[in-house]
Structure 1
């Protein structure tokens, strides 16, 4: 793949070299060694290459996976270690990269070898070997305004409340006192642009004003264990909610900020226990409260909370709580660990609770999934995050020092949307109330903590990050001649087999398990001829399909939708009002306000039709989906839904304008005044400032066009040019393509005049702030229109691209081989061949 320098910076060959070194020891798929007639044959690697010399007691396990950059054979290490132990029916053992096979026909499977992601390793950095005594409190935040998170520590038995400056770790004192509790939060309490420190000191809740650390007592005389800081009532000022444990863990204590020095206090009785976290559980953009077994829905004022029980099966009262989208369905799940002994109970479990389609419904059923059974009730930390950068949420845990050895700090790596886990122990020192943070800005998640009653401040740096090269792509023609032109393309697991399929036009293509396999074209069902959006409209866990009845660009504003029975077989419904237009160019589906039903926004190719909207009934199969025109303003192209004005509901991006959602009315807002027509757009956070930016590719058929992103600052928007030389940037997507934690931009050219010269590009966001972009060529020879959609289609941990065009009827897949070329293609042995007990 050729690289073209768009601005100052070229990709670093050193970075690519380091990537190669780091990925060298990635482990192949599960490996089966079988002795046949005195020879041990290695069943692994690309095309099963590799062999073991005749067994004769102990032999080196030699693997040559046929990876071009690794010419010489290399020793196979299980789980990244030079040694391992195993016992096959008492007949053999393997140690120190040798295998001892005593009997021909013995089969040995080395399990847990199938992860193509980089090996997850951590470096332990001791920030302070002699920190405050009995470190109970830990906090993180940028205290000196340099853009890097600093570490805050509070000692219960002495040594004060201190902070450590990133990255020289110089210790500075906030308060020299003692009796600092288990929770420290860092937030700008008085709105002066500086991060302040909130903590519990003995029986007082205090915030310390940055930079002189003047203490302000919010409350005294109440013991507290957990505290969270957020704007709970939407008035623009930060409030607090806190909770104690043991005998007084049956109240939530609220502190509403009147001013930074004046707070209104209130209480809410809650089930007895320990643990507290804030999260947007039902997606309404207000922070709800989660405790053990119960969550409280935020109704917009501190005095109004609706209680919802999410589990009656979890009976252990004292918990540490985390939230995260464990199964990748777009909803926040709840994770619990037993943090303190509960009566005579010394062992319990670590579990996650699967969020239902509507968490607020009276019938909501949160299914419990056990991560680890029979664990000691001293796991005073559980947290969520993608530690191995495979796109799935993992679970970090830590046991505090009161527990019996081993006192593990560990990560449960998510291997199947929360259905299977691989445990990675990173330390045996234990810890307590840890924090997850990217401490060094390298795009991966690190861990910071200190064990209960100890004075050593520990940081575990995640070493997984290195940029993936974008130099190896393989083009696959999924369909060389679909029956008619399709308007959109997307990917989803249609038949629930764990693999993402491709949907476009009137068809879906079943994923064969490998990009080079035969993709079977399956008809969705007449008259769904042009897929518009794939969405679970009835909340049954299967992806349904909404489309128009016209073929290609034929004018037809009638709709139909396909209800998925869960295996990719559809029942077709036509109970939808017709729209007004010719063929679609933009679709966005969501609940645009928390109390709204699901709605589908529509933009048509023909001008003058405005933006329209379908409303999905509670039961989509019953009744008519009503249609309405919500605005006469339209840019007749792509639609994207997102909260552009940060008011808690979803607006609609049209291109260089957006429709502001004002409780049912939609008011046009200009982002950029330009005579050029926008075509494709996406919403994302390009510069990582926590606000949505817009990315736009402009209409320019067979001629140079503009790709730009727009940054919001208050009510104004700043244009930032990415490229003005790309031909027809009318296929567009955004994703982190090289694994550096920043959002990149993908563009396909709509070059009808010379389709054989049309190109597909990736623009990498090199500085992470959208100021320096490098253009990478993926492929030449396919014209693109409303294509270039990004997803990990083969599940190997890097991002692939699927696309369609206007001048041809091909369905295209561009396989990213960044990981495969370094590791080789793993294979999974037949389970029946595996030795028992592994």
Structure 2
């Protein structure tokens, strides 16, 4: 899952308040009509008003809003093999722009909101695979971490990591600085892992150097880099977790604890793993904890493809696509013993890939959206609306049927109407679209 990116925190969910209108009753036949209200009557009125408001709060919390309508808008109709999407403001005009990436082109381009004019960021980059945004110098325009030279065979995948920076005019090609070369570098993110208000760069290679299809049996290391004062200087690679096995497909940044530190969730053959940094400076170390094994079957139908953290009111949940490139949409809820209970809410995807969460209907319960790459066929967009705060019941709706083989997904308010919209990029459908939320305005 990707949100509107400029190294900002995940927006808080605001529980809607519904106030019921209540009119005063007419006086009884024996009651004297008077403009005066006694002290006892004031107390009674206050008690009644409190009860009405409490009931309204309860109703708002217990009765979720229904599904909303989405209108599809084409950003790019011809982007062969669309793979990854990023939403971020690239020209400092307050509007979120869109970057669409495909490994079939050597050009990386962004599309300017609202007219979606195309601008080239970088050229001559073979095997583009992923990107992430963060404003490192505070000029209001983010730098971009980009990964290229990717291949599913480690021996053919140098795994180049770049930092892209504009040179005054973001509509012109950006300057690329090489950060690292790590075989099969596949997914990238920015996170403040130690709470010092400075972001670190996270790099998740897909497989180990000796891994081969179909089981990809080898260890794969999740790593990070501190940003050097001189961006052209060496970026020291540091290990987060070198015990992961098989495929490491996605790394997601989350606010897991009630502090300034951001944590990481990874999805891969091992399942869903939580990575948290403790300590600081030279004493910083990582605690890595398996939260869930995901789909328990032999590789390659193992573990998880992607994971997103959402909230049902105050309750945290995890949404996942399982297994790797799998058919299941899964929800995990936490019990009182910190164990995660697995629940498959849909098993009809042909080839799932990424998953996102967002409160699309403004009821304080975050919903789920997942794409379907459909194994080279024509997929659809799948929404799942939370029916209560338990995470048990979900209402499924299909949008843009057979017109979006979604590989990459992002959630953001694209048109500034305070509704969360969805952006997807399609592989077989070779398109990039944003889905306008036509529902009630959601306070965020």
- With the length of structure 1 as denominator, give the TM-score of the two structures: 0.40
- Contact kept? 1:537, 1:620, Cα under 8 Å: no
Q: Hey, what's the Cα distance between the residues in 1 that align with 2:352 and 2:426?
A: 12
Cα displacement string for residues 197-234 of structure 1 (whole angstroms, at most 9, x for unaligned residues): xxxxxxxxxxxxxxxxxxxxxxxxxxxxxxxxxxxxxx
Q: Does 1:442 align with 2:442?
A: no
**Aligned residues of 1:494 and 1:567 also touching (Cα < 8 A):** yes
**Rg bigger for which structure?**
1
Shift of 1:524: 0.6
1:710 matched residue in structure 2: 333
Q: 2:313 aligns with which of 676, 685, 688?
A: 688
| Other-structure match for 1:591 | 192
Tell me the residue number matched to 1:495. Answer: 91
Listed as ranges, the matches of 1:238-317 within 5 Å are: none
Equivalence map 1:604-683=2 (5 Å): 604-607=205-208, 608-617=219-228, 619=229, 621=231, 623-634=233-244, 636-644=248-256, 649-655=261-267, 656-663=272-279, 664-674=284-294, 675=296, 676-683=302-309
Work out which of the residue numbers 760, 774, 777 in structure 1 matches 2:381.
760
Decide whether the 8 Å contact of 1:587 with 1:639 is kept in 2.
yes
Native 8 Å contact 1:680 1:698 kept in 2 = yes
Report the Cα offset of residue 544 of structure 1. 1.9
CA 1:627–1:770: 2 relative to 1, 3 Å? same
Judged with a 3 Å threshold, the aligned counterparts in structure 2 of structure 1 residues 722 and 802 are, in CA distance, closer, same or farther, namely same
Aligned to 1:825: none
- Aligned to 1:748, the other structure's residue is in SS state strand
3-state DSSP class of the match of 1:790? strand
Task: Name the counterpart of 1:750.
Answer: 373
Q: Using the alignment, how far apart are the partners of 1:657 and 1:510 within structure 2? A: 36
Could you tell me which residue of structure 2 aligns to residue 423 of structure 1? none
Contact 2:425/2:432, CA 8 A, preserved across alignment: yes
Q: CA deviation at 1:599?
A: 0.6
Structure 1's 611 and 741: CA in aligned 2 closer, same or farther, altered over 3 A?
A: same
Deviation at 1:775, TM superposition (A): 0.3
Give the Cα separation in 1 of the matches to 2:72 and 2:255: 36
1:295-374 correspondence to structure 2 within 5 Å: none
1:520 equivalenced with 2:123 (yes/no): no
Deviations 1:117-154 (A, max 9, x none): xxx9977779x9959x9xxxxxxxxxxxxxxxxxxxxx
Distance 2:38 2:170 in 1: 57
**Partner deviation per Cα, 1:10-47 (whole Å, 9 max, x = no partner):** xxxxxxxxxxxxxxxxxxxxxxxxxxxxxxxxxxxxxx
C-alpha RMSD of matched pairs (Å):
3.9
The separation in 1 between residues aligned to 2:173 and 2:365, in whole angstroms, is: 38
CA change 1:596–1:475 in 2 (3 A) is closer
**Corresponding position: 1:576 with 2:179:** yes
Kept in 2: contact 1:587–1:600 (CA 8 A): yes
Equivalent position SS for 1:168: helix
Q: Secondary structure at the match of 1:497?
A: coil
Kept in 2, the 8 Å contact 1:659–1:667? The answer is yes
Question: Is residue 145–residue 188 contact of structure 2 (8 Å, CA) maintained in 1?
Answer: no
Answer yes or no: is the 8 Å Cα contact 1:496–1:567 preserved in 2: no
1:561 and 2:187 correspond: no
Deviation for aligned residue 1:552: 8.1
Deviation at 1:678, TM superposition (A): 0.4
Q: Is 1:612–1:629's contact at 8 Å kept on the other side of the alignment?
A: yes
1:453-476 Cα deviation digits (max 9, x unpaired)? xxxxxxxxxxxx9947523x3333
Give the 3-state SS of the residue equivalent to 1:661 in structure 2: strand
| Aligned counterpart for 1:776 among listed residues 397, 413, 437 | 397
Contact 2:356-2:411 at 8 Å conserved across structures: yes
Among 49, 68, 73, which residue is 1:470 paired with? 68
- State the structure with bigger RCO (CA 8 A, min sep 6), 1 or 2: 2
| Alignment length (residue pairs) | 373
Going from structure 1 to structure 2, the CA distance change for 1:551 and 1:809 (only over 3 Å counts) comes to farther
**In 1, distance between residues paired with 2:412 and 2:259?**
30
CA displacement 1:564-621 (0-9 Å, x = unmatched): 347544541415232x22241x33312111237421212122243310112212x464
Point out where structure 1 has 5 or more consecutive residues left out of the alignment: 1-119, 134-158, 172-437, 444-464, 821-838
Secondary structure of 2:416 counterpart = coil
Contact 2:67 2:385 in 1 (8 A): no
Distance, in Å, in 2 between the alignment partners of 1:166 and 1:734 is: 36
> CA offset at residue 810 of structure 1?
2.0
Does residue 803 (structure 1) correspond to residue 424 (structure 2)? The answer is yes
Q: Distance in 2 between matches of 1:764 and 1:496?
A: 33
Distance 2:429 2:402 in 1: 11
Asked if the contact 1:748–1:760 (Cα under 8 Å) also holds between the matched residues in 2, the reply is yes
